[in-house]
Chains A and B, each alone.
Chain A
Amino acid sequence: MDRVPPVLDAKPPVGASVPRVDGVAKVTGRALYLDDLDAPGAWFGATVRSKIAHGVLEAIDLDPAFDWSQVVVVTAADIPGHNYIALIENDQVALVPVGGHVMHVDEALALVAAPTKELAMAAAKAVVPRVKPLPAIFTIDDALAVKQKLYGDNNVFKQFLIRKGHGDDAGLEAAFAGATQVIEGTYWTSAQEQMYIEPQAMMAEWADGRCYIVGSMQCPYYVHKAMKPLLACGPDDVVITQSVTGGGFGGKEEYPSMLAAHVALLAKKAGRAVKIVYDRDEDIAATTKRHPARVHHRMAVDASGEIVAIDVDVVMDGGAYLTLSPVVLSRGVLHAAGPYRCPVVRVRGRVVATNHPPHGAFRGFGAPQTTFAYERQLQKLAIARGEDPLALRKRLALRSGDTTATGQLLGFSVGTDEVIAAIERCAGPPPRKDGVRNGSPVRRGRGVVFYFHGAGFTGSGEQRLAGRATVAKTVLGRYEVRSSSTDIGQGAITIFTQIAASALGVDASLVDVVDPSTARVPDSGPTVASRTCMVVGGLVEKAARALKEKLAEPHDGEVAVTLQYEPPPGIQWDDATYTGSAYPVYGWAACLVDVSVDLDSYEVHVDRCVQAVDVGKAINPVIVKGQIEGGTLQALGWALLENVVYKDGKVMNANMTNCIVPTFADAPELETILVEVPYPFGPSGAKGVGEIPMDGPAAAVANAVENALGCAFDAIPIMPELVAESRSRWRLG
């Protein structure tokens, strides 16, 4: 990869906004993404997909009229090892075998490869699968009612129960019975497409019995883990390398393993390199999206306005295979009670099977769905009590010394007061209710939210992962950071450079962050869960310090230090009861949104959006700001205009014309306030930041629209149709 060193003045220490290391390569077009790599002789792959949501694959026919002489066809029968994509459970097949069950529309049934993309596309059309349809289910209710049995006895992939301050359901109801007031609602959030601008792309080639896979991905070792059983090979027989990756947002966490399987199988049979680059429509139709969710939330309040009990029931649509749903649900339920004091909490969570394409990882990972629910609830409480919405949150928020829903005692790095004070300082007077925008009458409103996000893997996850990273001084006198953390735009290369240079006390231009390849870097764990800077960056910092000490002694040849993650002291988690320290630390945030609702077109326009986020320590303030603003706009899009439309399990708007995301013209000026309440166990005090900005703004928008129109909005996206339907409920007085 062509990584041009920065031509601009760079101050190496942590805390400076050093220009990104890969910046010049990216602005000049020299950065090479998968489809840019020169691959002479490589063939192009294409995928034959199901048009039916549920059924039995009876046969795969090849059109006899088609000239197959230049085409390779792969079916499940060509898989040398096990036909599954190894993840949490091994339930998802790489290709549906003849006689097997098709579980969703656009599931892969067969593969073709040919010397040109045109021929590959034509060949894919000439492969004719015969599928005997079975009844399919597409709603949470039909899944729970077991209208069709798709998984186990009850279609529930995973369930969780959290109890705090009570022994059984009777104890919970007793707490509700004693309440002065109960706030209750059901909240719906829709599927969301990650819409990275580089579609999924992967290439494979076999040489000397070894499979080399390169592509657009977040987690090289996830792909590595999935290839070993599928290709029936040892760990050294498959090498996974990340190419420059054009965005991920979770969408390139698990799906690349599927695509890697496909190119590896095609390359083996074709005896040459094969690449697959999805078209946009195929990418939207076939790959993962954010889990749609239904959250029922009850909250009991006493006469003084204290929350005395919270009861939440979370149900998510997992789609056709289990994939990452259990962990998405886990994060969802662990955030469901919100960052508020409450002695009695019950959270129940289920994720169910349907015949939708599998839903999967997307920034926030379950927390945005439950955050939307609890922050709508807090807004309703503020309205019911006639209390200022921000003052109410300030009064009820968790602080150091309080315990969370899982009984975790918060001891450090709780930025509650700082983020709320930041919003108070810059809020200004609320917008005038009535006005005119672009010649149309508008009604304006303001919404606020307060929220938190656990950084790093849940519970004992980081200990199980045991991520490793290496810092070395090479024989050439340069310093290398070796980790499997990928730069997917979030700036990992640059912040690792800064962290290592600072800890080593050397110039940043002497530090190279090695391209992630399983042949060259240790397994640092996946690039997910807001853990790259905090967890892996922490390892880099410690390893660099240890290396500096080692270098002070006599040495020759390469000197390297590899460290493995160790949890901070006092972290205890019980998976059986879901109690204890759910996360080593949390990020804290508050957000203010002003909206105008166009009373002619029913469009909602965001006039102002302020986010104050406690990030512990901004290693590179400009990069952190970019992370927060990117996540914020994805949340505003989810709230207002991003809508994946399914019909009979098929995505009906699988193109960028109809599956829209915010443009420059849709986006408001974003005001971002970085708050730094250090995390004692993070690099220079840093904690996770990647996901938190996604969690809160959607509820802030709904709260603002409610403030404008005087009626509740409990489902997103709040599209003009929804605003039009709400007319009879408006209270504009």
Chain B
Amino acid sequence: MTMKITLEINGETRTVECSPWKRLLDVLREDVRLTGTKEGCGEGECGACSVILDGEVVNSCLVAVGQCDRRKLTTVEGLARGDVLHAVQKQLVVCGGAQCGICTPGIAVCAAHVVDRGLVRGKDEAAARAAVRELLAGNICRCTGYQLIVDAVIAAVREVEP
């Protein structure tokens, strides 16, 4: 059984026709051809498939697309404004927070959510770093040891909230 599902992805309205049980991840990658969202485990552990659904970060491998009809999605492709990178994306490049890059889209999405929502606002350095570690604990990176990613997120927080 297929059905028509309307999604607002990165500000654009897209309609797909597929099984409502199809994973949101597969719809993004196959039907909409936005391949920035990655699959690392398919069971909600690694966070490589993180997207923002109506203001909440979700693992798109665990969401059936039928749940997303008429809802707003932000993927990694929607973080930059034209050629201007999101502060998180820029700082991930500057601080060396991306290595192999396969976890990076999920981390960028999650970290952009943290920064844009002001989730570590007003905290001192140590408390902000600890909070970032807690908030990003659902995203696994095997390359960096996380240190330079935390540096990047804190730098983005400071850039956005001087």
Query: A residues engaging B (CB < 8 A)?
Result: 6-8, 17, 19-20, 22-33, 35-36, 38, 194-199, 244-249, 279-280, 488-491, 622-623, 625-626, 629-634, 655-657, 661, 663-665, 667, 669-670, 672
Inter-chain CA distance A245–B101, complex, in Å, is 8
Segment from B65-73, B87-95, B115-123 that makes contact with A: B87-95
Residue of B96, B103, B105, B137 most packed against chain A (CB within 10 A): B96
Q: B60 an interface residue at 8 Å Cβ cutoff? A: no
Contact partners of A634 in chain B: CB under 8 A: 142
Q: How far is the CB of A675 from chain B (nearest CB, A)?
A: 18
Q: How far is the CB of B132 from chain A (nearest CB, A)?
A: 7
- Are A279 and B144 closer than 8 Å at their CB atoms? no
- Are A664 and B35 closer than 8 Å at their CB atoms? no
**Known contacts A8-B90, A247-B143, A655-B43; A664/B136 CB under 8 A:** yes
Q: How far is the CB of B64 from chain A (nearest CB, A)?
A: 16
Contact partners of B149 in chain A: CB under 8 A: 664
Of B33, B96, B139, which one neighbours A625 at CB under 8 angstroms? B96
Q: B79 an interface residue at 8 Å Cβ cutoff? A: yes
Q: B46 an interface residue at 8 Å Cβ cutoff? A: yes
Please report the total number of B residues contacting A with Cβ < 8 Å: 57
Contact with A along B133-156 (1 / 0, CB 8 A): 110111111111111111000000
Pairs A–B under 8 Å by Cβ, sample size 5: A36-B29, A280-B41, A489-B99, A663-B140, A664-B146
Contact partners of A657 in chain B: CB under 8 A: 43, 45
For B26, give the chain A residue with the smallest CB separation: A117
- Are A22 and B101 closer than 8 Å at their CB atoms? yes
Contact partners of B29 in chain A: CB under 8 A: 35-36
For B129, give the chain A residue with the smallest CB separation: A669
Inter-chain CA distance A657–B39, complex, in Å, is 15
Q: How far is the CB of B103 from chain A (nearest CB, A)?
A: 5
- Are A245 and B100 closer than 8 Å at their CB atoms? yes
Of B41, B45, B94, B103, which one neighbours A8 at CB under 8 angstroms? B94
Q: How far is the CB of B58 from chain A (nearest CB, A)?
A: 17
- Are A198 and B40 closer than 8 Å at their CB atoms? yes
- Are B99 and A630 closer than 8 Å at their CB atoms? yes
Query: B residues engaging A (CB < 8 A)?
Result: 29, 33-43, 45-46, 48, 75-77, 79-80, 83, 85, 89-90, 92-96, 98-105, 108, 129, 132-134, 136-150
Inter-chain CA distance A280–B49, complex, in Å, is 14
**Known contacts A197-B46, A629-B147, A655-B41; A23/B93 CB under 8 A:** yes
Q: How far is the CB of A8 from chain B (nearest CB, A)?
A: 6
Contact partners of B104 in chain A: CB under 8 A: 26-27
The 9 A-B pairs with the shortest beta carbon distances in the complex, nearest first, are A29-B36, A489-B100, A246-B102, A26-B101, A629-B145, A489-B99, A633-B145, A23-B93, A656-B45
Contact partners of A669 in chain B: CB under 8 A: 129, 147, 150
Inter-chain CA distance A344–B149, complex, in Å, is 46
**Known contacts A626-B143, A629-B144; A27/B100 CB under 8 A:** no
Of A247, A249, A633, which one neighbours B102 at CB under 8 angstroms? A247
Inter-chain CA distance A670–B149, complex, in Å, is 12
Contact partners of A28 in chain B: CB under 8 A: 36, 76-77, 79-80, 85, 89
For A657, give the chain B residue with the smallest CB separation: B45
Q: How far is the CB of B89 from chain A (nearest CB, A)?
A: 4
Q: How far is the CB of B62 from chain A (nearest CB, A)?
A: 12
Known: A28-B80, A197-B142. 17 other contacts (CB 8 A): A6-B93, A7-B85, A8-B94, A20-B96, A24-B89, A27-B108, A196-B100, A489-B101, A489-B143, A626-B99, A630-B142, A655-B41, A655-B43, A656-B40, A661-B140, A664-B139, A667-B146
Contact partners of A35 in chain B: CB under 8 A: 29, 35, 39
Residue of B38, B143, B148 most packed against chain A (CB within 10 A): B143
Inter-chain CA distance A623–B150, complex, in Å, is 15
**Known contacts A29-B77, A247-B142; A197/B100 CB under 8 A:** yes
Inter-chain CA distance A26–B76, complex, in Å, is 10
For A490, give the chain B residue with the smallest CB separation: B99
- Are A629 and B142 closer than 8 Å at their CB atoms? no
Inter-chain CA distance A665–B90, complex, in Å, is 23
Q: How far is the CB of B28 from chain A (nearest CB, A)?
A: 10
**Known contacts A489-B101, A634-B142; A29/B148 CB under 8 A:** no
- Are A667 and B145 closer than 8 Å at their CB atoms? yes
For A635, give the chain B residue with the smallest CB separation: B145
Q: How far is the CB of B1 from chain A (nearest CB, A)?
A: 15
Contact partners of A245 in chain B: CB under 8 A: 100
Residue of A194, A630, A633 most packed against chain B (CB within 10 A): A630
- Are A622 and B96 closer than 8 Å at their CB atoms? yes
